[in-house]
Amino acid sequence: MSAAAHAEHDHAHGHAHHDEGFIQKYLWSTDHKMIAMQYLFTGIAMALVGGFTVYAFRMQLAFPGMPVPGYGRVTATDYNALVTTHGSVMVFWVAMPVLIAALGNYLIPLMIGCDDMVFPRLNRLSYQLFLLSAIVLMASFYVPGGAFGGAWTSYPPLSAKAEYNLTGLGSSMWLFAVALEFAAFLLGGINFITTVMNSRAPGMKMFDVPIVVWMIIIASILFMASVGPLIAGAVMLMFDQQLGTGFFDPAKGGDPVLWQHLFWFFGHPEVYVVLLPAMGIVAEIITVFSRKKLFAYKTVLYTAIGTGVLSFFVWAHHQFIAGIDPRMANVFSVTTLLISIPVAEMVFVYIGTLYGGSIRLTTPMLWALAFIAEFLLGGVTGIFLGASGADIYFHDTYFVIAHFHYTFFPIAFIGSFAAITYWFPKMFGRMMSETWGKVHFWGTIIPFNLIFIPLFLLGARGDHRRIYDYRHFPDLMKAGMQDLRILATLALLVLLAFQVVFLVNLFHSIFRGEKAAANPWNANTLEWQAPSPPPHGNFPQGLPNVYRGPYEYSHPDRAEDYWPQTEPEAAKS
């Protein structure tokens, strides 16, 4: 980003930036693109933390009791802290900041054709709260007792009592970090929804908004509507921990299952909060790289809304063995199976878009196709768990772990890699290496399946998930079960090693990549009409007007196979 163009533009728009020192530009910026970069790189850093924790505890599971290179001996308390941190970090500090905060911040103003978010200072505050939350979480590793070890779902009474979880201060710091993080995303979500409602470019109607923007908005609404009960529960849990109240403490008459209701009322919509943006990213990419109009735009939109509404009525499927009324379990089984219909419909629509297109297998397209295939496996195995009868057997086994990793890994990683490789030319003004991108793709997808297919097999054989050392459970050490654990761990090591390829490709391309044109993929949406990378204010030639929908590829009336949203009918093509 050239500083001169930057400063010049600030004057042209009368923004209050006088001189842009390092702190003004990189740490105290209100520019939505810089805030997106802050979220993105913090998310990548947290992904390394999440990756390191899984490395340490998977090594313990495969080779119990042996010192782990780079970590040392994993004690039982360490193990609890590592799995808790892995789950919390990957959901709250990787998937949420990268998919919603980074991409939402980067894409929304560019794709709807405005110069910034409507509340830029709230946006800056949002990132600062998020950064603080990450610091609090990481600091909890260094307090007496260590980081919280009560699992990312934080069920009381385990999470409420220091004498059970052995991490008294760590558990309160975990709760505080989660609360700060939610405050950050509340501010972000308010910004996203208000911006899209009020700041769309002239001519951009509801159905001219790109699907990814819609998806981020629906996800933000889901987040807004579901997070309240969890915050209520978090305050109550914090009081139980620090003030000795008895909201969830059976010894004081409290109800521990109440926490599970409050947690999962948020927790299940949260799955769709991260899924929908990933679905949106995939929609953008498959239309561009099959040079075809998105099949059934409105169907995608309505199924996304339907998924969002249904997601509020499925939460108790996490509690089938928590002693809830079996009649209630039936209702939640039905709603859980129902929600697979709109999601399956979305997948069908995407396959319909691919059908008959002139497909170009670029790196982002490979990621997008892999997302559809892998997520489908995650969705189908979810049906076994949604049926309460089967779930009573599968509950708390590695089958559950494998199922939600087949949903979350495609969402958080495949979706993010698709987005980063696709929008990289816009973000940094340079191209990423296609060759190394494809090496990284295959080096991630193959080991990913080799990690989690063994875990499906283990789970089907009843392998319980909350065990630190399987040598103490002879039933779970029978015929080849340990071999499957070792296979999963070795595949994980390969997967982690290939992420180095990604990081090197990312940073090398940021500084040394081939210069990118404004619209390297010949795409229609508005962000590709801005220069790469867009300057402060986004559209130096003036904010764009919109004349058409975002997916008019291979239009019969036009020589080129794309038709940017800014080009009116009469303009010469």
Partner 1 sequence: MTTSAAALTTSPPANRPVVPNAVLGTLIFVVAEVMFFVGLISAFTISRAGAPAGTWPVPGQPLLPAEATALNTAALMLSGALLLAGQVLWAKKRPVARWVVLAAWVLGALFVVLQGREWSQLLSAGLTMKSSRLGAFFYLIVGTHGVHAIGALVALGLAAVQVLRGRLEGGLFFGAQVFWYFVVLMWPIIYARVYF
Residues that bind partner 1 (CB under 8 A): 118-119, 122, 186, 189-191, 193-194, 197-204, 224-233, 235-236, 239, 243-247, 252-255, 258, 261-262, 265, 541-547, 566-568, 570-571
Least distance (Å) from partner 1 to the CB of residue 28? Answer: 22
- Burial class (CB within 10 angstroms; exposed 0-12, middle 13-18, buried 19+) of 8: middle
**Tokens encoding 168:** 């008294």
Q: Nearest approach, Cβ of 372 to partner 1 (angstroms)? A: 32
Instruction: Please state the closest distance from residue 196 (CB atom) to partner 1, in A.
Output: 10
The residues that bridge with 464 in the sheet, in sequence order, are 397
Q: For 476-545, give the DSSP string.
A: GGSTTHHHHHHHHHHHHHHHHHHHHHHHHHHHHHHHHSPBP-SSTT---SGGGGS-SS--TTS-TT-PPP
* Segment (H or E) for 193: helix 168-198
Output the smallest distance, CB 219 to partner 1, in A.
Answer: 14
Q: Minimum distance between the CB of residue 191 and partner 1, rounded to whole angstroms?
A: 8
Coil, strand or helix at 562:
strand
Which lies closer to partner 1 via its Cβ, residue 280 or residue 544?
Answer: 544
Q: Which is closer to partner 1, CB of 269 or CB of 443?
A: 269
CA 108 – CA 114 distance, rounded (Å): 9
135-148 as b/e: b if 16+ CB within 10 A: ebbbebeeeebbbb
Report in angstroms how near the CB of residue 201 gets to partner 1 at its nearest.
Answer: 8
Residue closer to partner 1 by CB (options 305, 376) is 305
**Dist CA 132 CA 187 (whole Å):** 15
Cβ at position 241, least distance to partner 1 in Å: 13
Smallest distance from partner 1 to CB 195, Å? 9
Instruction: Return the half-sphere exposure (C-beta side, CA atoms, 13 A cut-off) of residue 492.
Output: 25
C-beta closer to partner 1: residue 187 or 282: 187
**Residue among 330 and 573 whose Cβ is closer to partner 1:** 573
Contacts of 19 (CB under 8 A, 6+ apart): none
Tokens of 509: 């391309």
Nearer to partner 1 among residue 45 and residue 571 (C-beta): 571
Q: Which is nearer to partner 1, 183 or 401 (CB)?
A: 183
Nearer to partner 1, 9 or 292 (CB): 9
Q: How far apart are CA 197 and CA 217, in angstroms?
A: 10
Nearer to partner 1, 327 or 512 (CB): 327
Q: Which residues contact 433 (CB under 8 A, 6 or more apart)?
A: 505, 508, 509, 513
Kindly state the DSSP code that residue 311 receives in the 8-state scheme. Answer: G
The least distance separating partner 1 from the CB of residue 279, rounded to whole angstroms, comes to 22
Distance of CA 103 to the CA centre of its chain: 10
Q: Considering beta carbons, is residue 177 or 193 the nearer one to partner 1? A: 193
Report how far residue 386's alpha carbon sits from residue 103's, in angstroms, rounded to the nearest whole number.
31
Minimum CB–partner distance for residue 190 and partner 1 (Å):
5
Residue 198, CA distances (Å) to 121, 193, 518 in order: 17, 9, 26
Residue 513: phi and psi, rounded to 5, are -65, 165
| CB of residue 227 to partner 1, shortest distance in Å | 6
Nearest distance from residue 568's CB to partner 1, in Å?
Answer: 5
**Spatial separation of the C-alpha atoms in residues 37 and 267, rounded to whole Å:** 27
User: Nearer to partner 1 by C-beta: 545 or 554?
Assistant: 545
Distance (Å, whole) CA 531 – CA 184? 30
Other residues' Cβ atoms within 10 Å of the Cβ of residue 316: 24
Residues in a beta bridge with 349:
none
Among residues 227 and 288, whose Cβ is nearest to partner 1?
227
Tokens of 497: 């090693």
Buried b (16+ CB within 10 A) or exposed e, 468-486: bebeeeeebeeeebbebbe
